[in-house]
Chains A and B, each alone.
Chain A
């Protein structure tokens, strides 16, 4: 912490040094080769009026000092059409940034293109250029769009991209493929996930003010990691700032159904909850020890030293088990960012600082979490309720994030050092009515849940780029250690049977759970590019390698409370009253029982190494054809330490996966016309089982009653004679084929149509045990396929009327059809529980695969008067969520029709002040997942009403 502080201090000193020398104004810009998207080196940039100028460096960047005034810049380079940029304004002490100046190959002699400087200010066109010239199929979103759409975090921003959907507000799905097939990386490097149950990184933790852009690669090239199928989502944090920025922003949001609501539920937490971490209030009273005395050890002798210790532990549990209803606060946030670059004679320095704080409150009234099942009688189609849970819950989420980066550029090298820390704390309180008709036990109950979850991610990135022999060789290296921590300290669950307020095994005993996950990643990467001239056309050869090491330590310690002879009042906060607790005079009093002694199957350590190496060539075998061929090798080994429930199977850093794979890639780009490409790609990728999946772990979720069982356990039936699952969990190999036609027009307009086809060899899905439908296990099921088409356009409405030139209509849609061969277990179970007249196929859609995703919106942009506005719609088709089994049916997410509006206004010539206003979920849609069965009415699995939120914000630039 202290070190970070000194680092900040150093940057402030540096920046004040920068301020001192400003007298003139500065023009900065970047020049790209239009057809390749590569920065152009050695371009002459002349200020016509002054006859002074500069030459671009290897990044295509230039800088010119000039007295205040309005100028015309002349940009010229041999064999390229010159560009005249008019109306370039220079203000004393200010930097005018002209990014994305694109130079075209000269078509006719002496051709000069004249462009108004203000017309090239949107960085989205730069992305278009990158997209157009990229060797693989990719899409993305940049910081300028975040502002336009008004999204506050990466998760809500990224769903604007073609084929991207967000599940649970956190997880990115690309082309509707589940999180298993989507990889999220930070600045091109692997980072730990923040959810022990998922492979993907939670995106909601990244505030948009630390992000420069998010690029999604949908097809594979050899330099990318091979473990993705739908897409690689690369979050790039802010880099070299072009101009001095110092911005302070505040934001707020009011949701009438959630905020200033006196029924809001919260609970008494720690003093630092508002900073996103617990102050120790929720610490485990045993300190995490596993040698503590248990009730059976001390019941005969409560006052022995062991007995005293037991009693003191019992009294150490926080006594708050129920929430409080009080008025809720609105959403609010504050952000600050600072950045500049300082050009010295030989070195250019840049720095970036960003800080963000957000405090968001949600309240869901009448939220439902139910369990429905098919009746035993196959002639009845309607589903019957087994458990119905309905009530209110409140969530307060705090996000604190900081980014500090420093970059240095010399004639032939660039170095970057970046620190990122994100801290998130989420406090939840719930109060539910519970009706049980499952297992023949019919009762009603009142349920209280209190939860707290802390997530933290700390990442350091050190990288360098070097150009050798002019620009013939480019060497890139990166080194990134990342540390993530998740703590769920003291999840509390209490349920009383009503009306008698009984606590017993049938209604469920009170539970306390402490869960921790620590993960460390260390990634090193080296890429070398060499320009070539094969086929007498420019080409590129790339090769390199990377090394990934990941280590995870996971642990759950949970306690059950046995009520003994205690009678309860129904007040959850009175359950742990002194008079109820076990002692020498009250030997059948309430006591705690640890679930994790002597064996803890809910604990494991796991690590993996992945060594990758690749080579690829970007060639132009014909005039209009670009071919990118490559081969990647990955040597992947994974180790596991942990035991099964009875500790009869003990793994001590045993190898559970050892794969050597080769991944060929072929990408062909045929340029139909100057701005039209046809792309074809055929690649092989992989999806590997996670740490937890390749294990003997048995993790019970006491809230849902579901158990996760590690993939290494076999399941048999018919008295052991028939093997349903052999316990040999393997990685899934995927073949990907993509075809895409794209057309790019001026000012960021474009059209594209894509088709993709993927085959999955032994995909992994969560399968329920035939003998115990409450237990889920990852298993390789039958082969699967996904076929899809994508359609995208971005079009100015100028074509309707010239008056509408500032309006852009964007639309993208993805339609997929997936099919998977059911496992024998699943097929049998479906046949056994088929309704009369129902036919059972041996294939079904893939879990998590959305049948369609649609994004569309109309935006208005006027740089001259500073108004920006947008109306955006997003929907994802009904998606298979949980695969049904036994008498449980499939669950599907109901399409959430999201319609959001956002409005921005910048004031002042230099946009010093910016205000925005927005409305989220204008249609007041609900988040619902339903049980679906043959000719039966859908029944809710979950039903939440997020309501409509009005958002506003102000930004002031210093």
Chain B
């Protein structure tokens, strides 16, 4: 909208001609007004009179011509309305109204419009359907409810943007959903990550750590849900299914299809915090939910902190994730289901609530090889378990270092389907043996090392500067 001044109707009335030279008046324009950025002033009604007959009204904005309106008769009124342009934000705009009559007399009034500074907090209550929507650096966006980027739409989130989910539980949990056929281009940087958090968080653009919330707090909003059209192995052998966390009546919660190269966009340098609001048992929102996301999607440099349910959960699909930290997940840190067929490379897990890894197999007949977890470091903390495999878990795991573990945190079994476990290292609590923690064939793949003497595991360098985990010192124990 380039030209947003609106001058609509003029009404004139014809009077008897007056032989004398009479003056001109203009009334009804207020001397000053104040509006918010992007706000609108008016309509106000200007009234011009000239007994000799009106000629025109000339309006200037900051000295430049803005509009000229021809007038007739001896009295005319004009409604005036103006919507502030983006460049008006934080300025005073001066309008001058000059009215002239047929014999050259003039009258002039000024209007000084004070436009407020541009809002830095923007509330999003409508689903995103436009072809391109950009959330801009320096601003905070509030998710008013479950906001869906619908098929065909692209949401660009610029570096440093903070996205805050409104308070709500169950079906009222706020979340950002990238539906099938939609894209998210959320590319932060190592100095300006994109942060997803709760409205309770007083964090401002430019900050990494929350000024008021502990990293353990969870369940304050939903999470980030990305849905794609790749294959998955679903119960009942259907090809598409409803993602947990979204009621089935909202069909935009469907995921799955047949396009393994599907592209849902890019996620880079993103930090997701305090989410995971619960709908019902087995029906929760994870920090980052990846439902049948295809391999055309790029996901790198991801952090999930204090999520009530799982940190990152894959439901089928083929997407790869590189450089991920999951800290204080309320349930499992890393969860894979429905025959996901991708790779998680270079990851750190700290203090999961339930299992550090909840690794499940296909739920339907479809399966296409194994998913891969490689180059990871896991600090067990207070988790209930270490790795939870099932008989049909189709996973390959290698180069993983486990430390800070305690009794009960076991690598529970070897699946009965073909799997590969290689190059695990562990720092054992005093007086324990590898076999106390590593069951099945995982024990043979594991060697014990002193804390910090590991030669396999994650490289924490990619998390420096932008992740809260690194900034808070929680990665100090990692290499």
A residues whose Cβ falls under 8 Å from a Cβ of B: 294-297, 299-300, 373, 376-378, 438-442, 497, 500, 502, 504-509, 558, 560, 562, 564-565, 587-588, 593-599, 601, 644-647, 696, 698, 700, 702, 705, 707, 709-710, 713-720, 769-775, 829, 832-833, 885-887
Given contacts A378-B365, A440-B358, contact A719 B200 (CB under 8 A): no
Contact B238 A296 (CB under 8 A): no
B171 cross-chain contacts in A, Cβ below 8 A: 595, 599, 601, 645-646, 698, 700
A773 cross-chain contacts in B, Cβ below 8 A: 235-236
Residue in A441, A442, A773 with the greatest tally of chain B CB atoms within 10 Å: A441
| Residue from B169, B237, B278, B284 in contact with A833 in the complex, judged by beta carbons closer than 8 Å | B237
Contact A645 B257 (CB under 8 A): no
- For residue B431, CB closer than 8 A to chain A, the reply is no
- Docked pose: A377 CA to B169 CA in angstroms: 36
- Docked pose: A442 CA to B213 CA in angstroms: 32
B214 cross-chain contacts in A, Cβ below 8 A: 587-588
Q: How far is the CB of A808 from chain B (nearest CB, A)?
A: 53
B435 cross-chain contacts in A, Cβ below 8 A: none
Given contacts A593-B169, A595-B172, A596-B172, contact A560 B251 (CB under 8 A): no
- Docked pose: A598 CA to B353 CA in angstroms: 29
Please provide the 7 A-B residue pairs with the shortest distance between their CB atoms, ordered closest to farther.
A440-B360, A886-B236, A595-B170, A296-B167, A508-B281, A645-B171, A593-B169
| Residues of B368-423 whose CB lies within 8 A of A | 384, 388, 390, 392, 408
- For residue B317, CB closer than 8 A to chain A, the reply is no
Please name 9 pairs of A and B residues whose Cβ atoms are closer than 8 Å in the assembled complex, sorted by A: A295-B167, A441-B282, A558-B170, A596-B172, A705-B282, A707-B247, A771-B238, A771-B241, A829-B238
- Docked pose: A564 CA to B257 CA in angstroms: 37
Given contacts A504-B330, A719-B257, A886-B236, contact A442 B308 (CB under 8 A): no
Contact A587 B217 (CB under 8 A): yes
Given contacts A300-B213, A505-B284, A587-B214, contact A562 B308 (CB under 8 A): yes
B237 cross-chain contacts in A, Cβ below 8 A: 376, 832-833
Q: How far is the CB of B254 from chain A (nearest CB, A)?
A: 6
Contact B384 A502 (CB under 8 A): yes
| Residues of B222-240 whose CB lies within 8 A of A | 229, 233, 235-240
- Docked pose: A829 CA to B166 CA in angstroms: 38
| Residue from B235, B254, B277, B280 in contact with A886 in the complex, judged by beta carbons closer than 8 Å | B235
B168 cross-chain contacts in A, Cβ below 8 A: 294, 296, 597-598
- Docked pose: A438 CA to B280 CA in angstroms: 14
- Docked pose: A5 CA to B166 CA in angstroms: 54
| Residue from B216, B235, B283 in contact with A565 in the complex, judged by beta carbons closer than 8 Å | B216
- For residue B146, CB closer than 8 A to chain A, the reply is yes
B278 cross-chain contacts in A, Cβ below 8 A: 505, 509, 560, 562, 593
- Docked pose: A720 CA to B250 CA in angstroms: 12
- For A715, the closest partner residue in chain B by CB is B251
Contact A594 B169 (CB under 8 A): yes
Contact A562 B218 (CB under 8 A): yes
| Residues of B8-66 whose CB lies within 8 A of A | none
- For residue B424, CB closer than 8 A to chain A, the reply is no
- Docked pose: A886 CA to B214 CA in angstroms: 42
Given contacts A300-B200, A598-B172, contact A885 B236 (CB under 8 A): yes
Q: A506-B354, A771-B238 are in contact. List 14 more A-B contacts (CB 8 A).
A: A299-B220, A442-B390, A500-B384, A506-B281, A588-B217, A594-B169, A700-B170, A702-B281, A705-B280, A714-B251, A718-B240, A775-B249, A886-B238, A887-B235
- Docked pose: A713 CA to B220 CA in angstroms: 29
B residues whose Cβ falls under 8 Å from a Cβ of A: 145-146, 166-172, 180-181, 198-200, 202, 212-214, 216-221, 229, 233, 235-242, 247-251, 254, 257, 276-284, 308-309, 330-332, 337, 353-354, 358-365, 384, 388, 390, 392, 408
- For A438, the closest partner residue in chain B by CB is B282
Chain B interface SS verdict (over half): loop
Contact A709 B249 (CB under 8 A): yes
Q: How far is the CB of A587 from chain B (nearest CB, A)?
A: 7
Residue in A505, A702, A771 with the greatest tally of chain B CB atoms within 10 Å: A505
Chain A interface SS verdict (over half): loop
- For B361, the closest partner residue in chain A by CB is A440
Contact B276 A505 (CB under 8 A): yes
Contact A296 B281 (CB under 8 A): no
- Docked pose: A108 CA to B456 CA in angstroms: 113
Q: How far is the CB of B100 from chain A (nearest CB, A)?
A: 53
Contact A504 B235 (CB under 8 A): no
| Residue from A376, A645, A770 in contact with B249 in the complex, judged by beta carbons closer than 8 Å | A645
- Docked pose: A558 CA to B198 CA in angstroms: 22
B284 cross-chain contacts in A, Cβ below 8 A: 505
B220 cross-chain contacts in A, Cβ below 8 A: 295-296, 299
- Docked pose: A377 CA to B365 CA in angstroms: 6
| Residue from A440, A442, A769, A885 in contact with B248 in the complex, judged by beta carbons closer than 8 Å | A769
Contact A702 B280 (CB under 8 A): yes
| Residue from A588, A700, A716 in contact with B280 in the complex, judged by beta carbons closer than 8 Å | A700
- Docked pose: A307 CA to B198 CA in angstroms: 17
B353 cross-chain contacts in A, Cβ below 8 A: 502, 504
A770 cross-chain contacts in B, Cβ below 8 A: 236, 238
Contact A593 B358 (CB under 8 A): no
B388 cross-chain contacts in A, Cβ below 8 A: 440-442
B240 cross-chain contacts in A, Cβ below 8 A: 717-719, 771
- Docked pose: A775 CA to B363 CA in angstroms: 18
B308 cross-chain contacts in A, Cβ below 8 A: 505, 562
Given contacts A439-B360, A505-B278, contact A297 B167 (CB under 8 A): yes
Contact A373 B235 (CB under 8 A): yes
Contact B199 A505 (CB under 8 A): no
- For B283, the closest partner residue in chain A by CB is A705
Contact A709 B170 (CB under 8 A): no
- Docked pose: A580 CA to B356 CA in angstroms: 26
| Residue from B198, B241, B250, B384 in contact with A646 in the complex, judged by beta carbons closer than 8 Å | B250
- Docked pose: A644 CA to B251 CA in angstroms: 13
- Docked pose: A705 CA to B172 CA in angstroms: 17
Contact A441 B358 (CB under 8 A): yes
Contact A645 B281 (CB under 8 A): no
B361 cross-chain contacts in A, Cβ below 8 A: 440
- For B252, the closest partner residue in chain A by CB is A720
Contact A715 B248 (CB under 8 A): yes
- Docked pose: A717 CA to B332 CA in angstroms: 31
- Docked pose: A609 CA to B146 CA in angstroms: 37
Given contacts A376-B364, A644-B249, A719-B240, contact A599 B169 (CB under 8 A): no
A771 cross-chain contacts in B, Cβ below 8 A: 238, 240-242, 248, 251, 254
- For A769, the closest partner residue in chain B by CB is B248
- Docked pose: A509 CA to B218 CA in angstroms: 13
B251 cross-chain contacts in A, Cβ below 8 A: 714-716, 720, 771
Contact A696 B331 (CB under 8 A): no
Q: How far is the CB of B281 from chain A (nearest CB, A)?
A: 4
- Docked pose: A507 CA to B284 CA in angstroms: 11
Residue in B169, B212, B238 with the greatest tally of chain A CB atoms within 10 Å: B169
Contact A595 B200 (CB under 8 A): no
- For B229, the closest partner residue in chain A by CB is A719
| Residue from A376, A645, A718 in contact with B363 in the complex, judged by beta carbons closer than 8 Å | A376
Contact A376 B216 (CB under 8 A): no
| Residue from B241, B254, B330, B392 in contact with A505 in the complex, judged by beta carbons closer than 8 Å | B330
Contact B248 A709 (CB under 8 A): yes
Contact A588 B216 (CB under 8 A): yes
Given contacts A595-B170, A645-B250, contact A832 B236 (CB under 8 A): yes
- Docked pose: A772 CA to B199 CA in angstroms: 31
- Docked pose: A377 CA to B391 CA in angstroms: 13
Q: How far is the CB of B237 from chain A (nearest CB, A)?
A: 4
- Docked pose: A440 CA to B282 CA in angstroms: 10
- Docked pose: A387 CA to B250 CA in angstroms: 27
Residue in B145, B202, B278 with the greatest tally of chain A CB atoms within 10 Å: B278
Q: How far is the CB of B319 from chain A (nearest CB, A)?
A: 19
Contact A440 B337 (CB under 8 A): yes
- Docked pose: A716 CA to B240 CA in angstroms: 10
A646 cross-chain contacts in B, Cβ below 8 A: 145-146, 171, 250
